[in-house]
Structure 1
Amino acid sequence: MGKKKTAFVCSDCGAEFARWQGQCSECKAWNTVTEFRVPSVKAAPRSAGTTGYAGVVEAKIQTLDEVNLESLPRFSTGFKEFDRVLGGGVVPGSAILIGGEPGAGKSTLLLQTMCLLAQSMPILYVTGEESLQQVAMRAKRLGLPTDKLKTLAETNVETICQLALREKPAIMVIDSIQVMHMTDVQSAPGSVSQVRESAAYLTRFAKQNQVAIMMVGHVTKDGTLAGPKVLEHCIDCSILLEGSSDSRFRTLRGNKNRFGAVNELGVFAMTGQGLKEVSNPSAIFLNRGEEQTPGSLVMVIWEGTRPLLVEVQALVDYSQLANPRRVTVGLEQNRLAMLLAVLHRHGGLQVADQDVFVNVVGGVKVNETSADLALITALVSSFKNYALDKQLVVFGEVGLGGEIRPVPSGQERLREAAKHGFKRAIVPVANKPKEVIEGMEVIGVSSLSDALQVLF
């Protein structure tokens, strides 16, 4: 037997070290370096003419135009929002990681999808945390068809793959990857070694047998996927199901996708019959009161391949503290500090002695810069106690020099706003459409001072 190699891996960033150390020198995290034993590699038996998991196939060099793409067609999950996040559907042979908070609905979404797909293709649902009785009770409570879905309660990866070779499923669900283990790895399930080797083994199985594998992953208390960070490197698609316990809406966001665009957003509603997809998510984020209040404004952000209308709220109030508070929910706090400095220098508004609170309604997380102008407008509206027009929509990036920069897909954002009944828009000059949008007045601004003059 070959000697087992030992490495030390950071569970946060995946960096490897020759010896243990208290702090990771790459990501500066403490107590995240754990021992990782690399199992000895066993030579697979040669089997001429076979393409099974244990067989060895001779490699063939091809040009890209010789690769047959028609042999791997995508197939739909039955949910348009799920397909959108996946890039148009499930690709055979892909490894998909689905993460989320406990109770977010990961198992519910997968059980709904697999029960429906099992009516037309072979599906294998592997559960390692729940018993088969618990899975059957959930499916019965949701009113799902259960006559054709094949289930398995097992945590050994080698056994699962051997049974999958016999059943030949089109999709296999692993719930969850943190409880899976391999015989050759001498560590507890959920450790860095077990999670890393189990995910790598399942990914190789998916590639060689053209089986799409969906793995459920837990998240830590700070919202990141538990286990080694390298888990996200070996899989093809990483998506996260987000949603607070007091909200009935869930957002499915793509963080990595080798077969489609990243940062796609799918919206679901949690009901008594499981998750229901929301075809028009802008409508749920625009459920505002009849009376318009100061500091409230609608902006148009771009999520993946579609525009999304969300409401941003700002509250600026005199602070009793020596260091005024800057609190953001759904936006980056450093971005707020930068925009407050721009507002002071180029807008003539001093808020150094004011507490500033910013919130994006609906739990949406905004990562793009098109929200800059809307955020500044909401801050000025709250500071002056001046309510803006309810039919106004604003978007645009603000530079450090006070200039208003254009954002991508400006016309698509305006059409989405016009579809929801907005009559007026403040946008960068470069995003002003050449053709008139029926029922909407579009005003282009080139600087922050021009925008504030038009609005206030």
Structure 2
Amino acid sequence: MATSKGNYGKTKYICSECGYNSQKWLGKCPNCDSWGTFEEEVDIKRTLKNIQSEEVSISKISEIEIAKEFRMVTQYEEFDRVLGGGLIKGEVVLITGSPGIGKSTFLLQLSEEYSKIGNVFYVSGEESPRQIKQRAERINVNSGNLYILNDTNIEKIEKVVLEDKPKVVVIDSIQTLYSENVNSVPGSVTQIRETTLKIIEIAKKHEIAFYIVGHVTKDGKLAGPKLLEHMVDAVLQIEGEENSYYRIVRSIKNRYGSTNEISIFDMKENGISEVKNPSEFFISDREEKNIGSIIVPIFEGSRVFLFEIQSLLGTPNFGMPRRTVEGYDRNRVEILSAVLSRSLNLDVNSKDIYINIPGGIELNDRSSDLAVVFSLLSSVNKIPISQKIAAIGELGLRGEVRKVSFIKKRINELEKLGFTGVYLPKSHESDLKKEKIKLKLNYISNISELIERVK
């Protein structure tokens, strides 16, 4: 593209992964080594006159008054908890997720909830008002304070929003918006950046909360510049398997709440409903005793969830043993199997190992190490484990079982759901000595002790 006239400067190319700038298009980014990530961008020249006309105010931090934080809450308590207690005035929340995961359906239901407080604008650049109405009827959404705006011009949207000043505005999606001040197509790096900046400006100046839908690429990353995630106040990701009815809403970033919070929802024909007890969802459909299956309490955000670790061992059909892992770190499985083979003299490395975490969630907490080893040991010896037994602990390379965080909260969750015993690091014995705990606490300092307990 040649040099533009008016408010436009020279064309440059920017890497959507790391933000590296280049005067010409490159197939591979020299900064982050990513392929095919350079997109065309136009430098917008701000005139000195406009900058000088803006008033700048400065205040002493000791003189700034903070009013009590007001949060807009919904009937979905689990979702409000992920936001940090509810939606704040002027907050900009980015919602991401793969196509068909339920982003638009969920936001339509949330729009009805917020319309009980005041007017809500649902701005769609992908569906017509009739299509949105059909989906609204299917999920029983009908509110006199919910308005549909079918436009993609950010200047027109700004004009309509500032005339009425609704409580909440939903943008579905940011990739469809464009600004007249930018000479590039909708969805480009420049357009996404400029339209998002305009949305943030409206939100902060007029205390209007925004939900922005952001599409993801085929490898699960947010489409568009990485800068978009840094600009907004919160980033929520909707996860779930294609063939599963359950959806997980995860907080990846939150300026007004805890990160890594998750909530579980059930996707039905008439909309999405929250799962009140997520732990029961993750450990449902279990027999009284199971071979290669054990429960681990994992700390996610500010609460504890119970997850089931499943393992299966097999004889390789070919020379190289397989490692098939779902919901867990494959490299961590390699390490744990090596530690198990060395500490207990068990032939695990030559076997096919299959690890599964039911529920479609990824476990990254090292406190699940002991549970994985328990599960593998049960599969090797074909010894069933009671469904009322859990295991907590991180493993070192020498087989030592290390302390984990929030041990009391994890044990409380196990007690609440009727568990009778738990295996945990011996280093926690002094911490729990004075606590009134009904569970049988089986302390372990090294996994070599397991050979006497699981035979």
1:335 is aligned to 2:332: yes
1:176-187 equivalences under 5 Å are: 176-187=173-184
Cα distance, 1:87–1:350 mapped onto 2, change above 3 Å: same
Give the root-mean-square deviation of aligned CA atoms.
2.0
Using the alignment, how far apart are the partners of 2:358 and 2:276 within structure 1? 18
2:305 maps to 308
Superimposed CA distance per residue, residues 35-68 of structure 1 (whole angstroms, 9 cap, x where no aligned partner): 2112222568699xxxxxxx944322322x5433
1:424 to partner: Cα distance: 0.8
1:221 maps to 218
1:149 to partner: Cα distance: 0.8
1:446 maps to 445
Cα distance, 1:18–1:428 mapped onto 2, change above 3 Å: farther
1:59 maps to 57
1:400 to partner: Cα distance: 1.9
1:390 maps to 387
Deviates more, 1:432-441 or 1:381-390: 432-441
DSSP 3-state at the match of 1:147: coil
DSSP 3-state at the match of 2:216: coil
1:127 maps to 124
Using the alignment, how far apart are the partners of 1:42 and 1:128 within structure 2? 31
Cα distance, 1:69–1:431 mapped onto 2, change above 3 Å: farther
2:323 maps to 326
1:319 to partner: Cα distance: 0.9
2:43 maps to 38
Using the alignment, how far apart are the partners of 2:111 and 2:8 within structure 1? 42
Give unmatched runs, 5+ long, in structure 2: 1-5
**May I ask how many residue pairs the two structures share in their alignment?**
448
Question: Which amino acid in 2 is paired with 1:214?
Answer: Y
The match for 2:264 among 267, 283, 292 is: 267
1:69 to partner: Cα distance: 2.8
Deviates more, 1:203-212 or 1:248-257: 203-212
1:193 is aligned to 2:190: yes
1:302 to partner: Cα distance: 0.8
Whether the 8 Å contact between 2:114 and 2:168 is mirrored in structure 1 is no
Question: Which amino acid in 2 is paired with 1:426?
Answer: Y
Question: Which amino acid in 2 is paired with 1:330?
Answer: G
Deviates more, 1:384-393 or 1:22-31: 22-31
1:90 to partner: Cα distance: 1.0
1:26 maps to 31
Provide the identity percentage. 37
2:3 maps to none
1:454 to partner: Cα distance: 3.1
1:168 is aligned to 2:173: no
1:333 to partner: Cα distance: 1.1
Using the alignment, how far apart are the partners of 1:304 and 1:424 within structure 2? 25
Cα distance, 1:66–1:320 mapped onto 2, change above 3 Å: farther
Using the alignment, how far apart are the partners of 2:153 and 2:306 within structure 1? 46
Whether the 8 Å contact between 1:78 and 1:113 is mirrored in structure 2 is no
Using the alignment, how far apart are the partners of 1:418 and 1:391 within structure 2? 10
Using the alignment, how far apart are the partners of 1:128 and 1:43 within structure 2? 34
1:291 to partner: Cα distance: 4.8
Whether the 8 Å contact between 2:304 and 2:409 is mirrored in structure 1 is yes
Using the alignment, how far apart are the partners of 1:66 and 1:321 within structure 2? 73
1:3 to partner: Cα distance: 5.1
Using the alignment, how far apart are the partners of 2:437 and 2:69 within structure 1? 43
Using the alignment, how far apart are the partners of 1:23 and 1:269 within structure 2? 41
1:15 is aligned to 2:20: yes
Using the alignment, how far apart are the partners of 2:442 and 2:312 within structure 1? 26
Using the alignment, how far apart are the partners of 2:98 and 2:8 within structure 1? 39
Using the alignment, how far apart are the partners of 2:151 and 2:8 within structure 1? 29
1:79 is aligned to 2:67: no
Cα distance, 1:44–1:398 mapped onto 2, change above 3 Å: farther
Superimposed CA distance per residue, residues 392-429 of structure 1 (whole angstroms, 9 cap, x where no aligned partner): 10111111222111111111111101111110100112
1:50 maps to none
Using the alignment, how far apart are the partners of 2:354 and 2:436 within structure 1? 34
Whether the 8 Å contact between 1:377 and 1:452 is mirrored in structure 2 is no
Cα distance, 1:136–1:396 mapped onto 2, change above 3 Å: same
1:42-441 equivalences under 5 Å are: 42=47, 56-63=54-61, 65-70=62-67, 72-432=69-429, 433-435=432-434, 437-441=436-440
TM-score norm. by structure 2 comes to: 0.93
Superimposed CA distance per residue, residues 339-377 of structure 1 (whole angstroms, 9 cap, x where no aligned partner): 122222223223222111111011121111111110111
Question: Which amino acid in 2 is paired with 1:411?
Answer: K
Whether the 8 Å contact between 1:97 and 1:216 is mirrored in structure 2 is yes
Using the alignment, how far apart are the partners of 1:44 and 1:383 within structure 2? 76
DSSP 3-state at the match of 2:291: coil
Deviates more, 1:32-41 or 1:409-418: 32-41
Give unmatched runs, 5+ long, in structure 1: 48-54
Cα distance, 1:199–1:397 mapped onto 2, change above 3 Å: same
Using the alignment, how far apart are the partners of 1:284 and 1:147 within structure 2? 35
Whether the 8 Å contact between 1:78 and 1:117 is mirrored in structure 2 is no
Using the alignment, how far apart are the partners of 2:159 and 2:79 within structure 1? 29
Question: Which amino acid in 1 is paired with 2:233?
Answer: D
Deviates more, 1:96-105 or 1:140-149: 140-149
Whether the 8 Å contact between 2:383 and 2:454 is mirrored in structure 1 is no
1:235 to partner: Cα distance: 1.0
Using the alignment, how far apart are the partners of 2:416 and 2:13 within structure 1? 55
